[in-house]
């Protein structure tokens, strides 16, 4: 009859251990996020918590100015930076197609809209 108390104690200890593990992991993630946000510098390409991509133009205290389009700047708090995006390195020769136009070289998926109403590579819609 006395076996129920021991299993309750083990269950209680496991629950406490699980909570300690979860809190310590969360603290580590928060610390890593804060370090990343404090290391943001001009020239870095970042993504905000709302999914907006931009290049850091200026950092003034807790305010980060991002260029979100050519000539368009937006101000965000430093905490709005979700992650630093490592830009893909594309050589100048790879950025031009065989016919000399700027765009994908045919190796990947091209999702630009076709003026005929479909996507490039699709048959025209009738």
Q: Which one has a higher pLDDT value, 78 or 115?
A: 78
Binned at pLDDT 50, 70 and 90, residue 16 comes out as very high
CB atoms within 10 A of CB 121: 11
Q: Which of 82, 87, 55, 59 is nearest to 71 (CA)?
A: 55
CA distance 31 to 41: 18
Flag whether pLDDT at 80 surpasses 70. Answer: yes
Q: The whole model's pTM is what?
A: 0.51
**In contact, 73 and 57? CB cutoff 8 Å:** yes
End-to-end Cα, the chain, rounded Å: 80
pLDDT for res 35: 84
Query: pLDDT exceeding 90 applies to what percent of the chain?
Result: 29
Token pair in block for residue 77: 């708090």
Cα separations (Å) of 80 from 26, 39, 70, 86? Answer: 18, 14, 21, 17
pLDDT at residue 41, as a whole number: 86
What DSSP line would sit under 56-97, residue for residue?
EEEEETTEEEEEEETTEEEEEEGGGEEEEE------TTTTB-
Q: Specify which residues 60 forms β-bridges with.
A: 63
Beta-bridge mates of residue 65: 58, 75
pLDDT tens-place string over residues 18-70: 999 888 888 988 898 888 888 888 888 999 999 999 999 999 988 999 999 99
| Residue 87 pLDDT grade (very low, low, confident, very high; cuts 50, 70, 90) | very low
């Amino acid at each position: 009859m006395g076996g129920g108390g021991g299993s309750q104690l083990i269950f209680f200890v496991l629950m406490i251990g699980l909570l300690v593990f979860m809190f310590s992991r969360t603290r580590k993630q928060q610390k890593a996020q804060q370090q990343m946000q404090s290391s943001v510098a001009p020239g870095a390409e970042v993504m905000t918590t709302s999914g907006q991509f931009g290049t850091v133009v200026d950092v003034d205290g807790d305010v980060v100015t991002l260029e979100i389009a050519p000539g368009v700047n937006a101000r965000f708090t430093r905490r709005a930076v979700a992650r630093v995006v490592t830009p893909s390195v594309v050589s100048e020769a790879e950025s031009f197609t065989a016919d000399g136009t700027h765009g994908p070289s045919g190796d990947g998926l091209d999702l630009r809209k076709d003026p005929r109403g479909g996507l490039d590579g699709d048959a025209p819609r009738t």
